[in-house]
Amino acid sequence: MLQFNKILFPLDYSEDCRALVPYVNEAALRFSSKLILLHALDGGLHFPGESGPLTESMENLRNLEENRLRDFATGHFAGVANVETLLETGDPATVIRGMIQHAGIDLVMMPTKGLGTFRRLLLGSVTSKVLHDVHCPVWTGVHSALGTSADHLPCRSILCAVGLDQETPGILKTAAAMAQSCETRLSILHVVETPPMSFEIDFAQFRKELMDNADLELRGMLRTAAIDAELIVLAGAPAPEVSREALKQQADLIIVGRGHDQGRIDRMFSQLYEIVREAPCPVLSV
């Protein structure tokens, strides 16, 4: 059975972050996890006009932020048995990555923000860096997809979107373990990508063959892993098809891979960003 012994919840006190609180609570209680609340304090902060040395100002700020973090934990996670609060100084993405590497984190839960330019066009810069740099599962939720917490809690339906590569068997096993832990139904989706409209070859004659082959290969993987799940094979652009199928299945969680073992990281991440942005529910990338 899937187990997350340590869950990291990076906090910035934003509305997006607060919208995740019910989900973090649910995960920590369901898996009896230790919950670590982390806030990264920018070491370059300066308050013009404030009297006293800068070191004194930073010390006062640390004291205020530590109290704020403890109050947040008490006010929002009183039901979680094991909660730790940590205040670190530095770039948030670097702080989060360091915490994951040195504290044995099993799951990171964080919101997304569509701010900034190119690299941050689909996801917030901190989230995109974490997705790119770490290897533990990352749970993300677009604020508009969270709605009221009751919409997706408790988890009743999981949609796992997979490709056909070396990672697929592992992703399928993770999805099956998550479905078992949540006592919910699982559907597996594979999308055969259609080429651009300007593609010179008539793709229609190959579409059915590709879909049939994908169906056959995935059924073999499911059979080998003894996973009982509905299999859906579609053709089209991955992100929109995943979103549409998630709505059709009334999915409360989408599980996808991140391309750790592949030589086409940029392409995988481009698809992942689009899936997260367009998802009607939270996404767990493994």
Confidence category of residue 200, pLDDT binned at 50, 70, 90:
low
| Percent of the residues in the chain that have a pLDDT greater than 70, as a whole number | 80
Indicate if 154-285 has the same CATH topology as 6-146.
Answer: yes
CATH 3.40.50.620 fits 6-146, yes or no: yes
Q: Which of 41-55, 169-183, 261-275 has the lowest mean pLDDT?
A: 41-55
Q: Which of 25-34, 105-114, 170-179, 275-284 has the lowest mean pLDDT?
A: 105-114
| 103 backbone dihedrals φ, ψ, rounded to 5° | -110, 5
Instruction: Give the Cα separation of 117 and 107 in Å (integer).
Output: 27
Any idea where the domains of the chain sit in the sequence? 6-146, 154-285
> 144: Cβ–Cβ under 8 A, 6 or more apart, which residues?
none
**Tokens coding 143:** 């604020």
Q: Give tens-digit pLDDT for 33-82.
A: 999 999 998 654 444 444 455 555 778 888 999 999 999 999 999 999 99
**Tokens coding 45:** 């902060």
Q: What is the average pLDDT across 200-207?
A: 70
CATH 3.90.25.10 fits 154-285, yes or no: no
Higher pLDDT, 161 or 61: 161
| pLDDT for 281 | 92
Higher pLDDT, 269 or 115: 269
In this prediction the pTM is 0.86
Q: Helix axis angle, 204-224 relative to 168-182, nearest 10°?
A: 60
> How many CB atoms are closer than 10 A to CB 211?
16
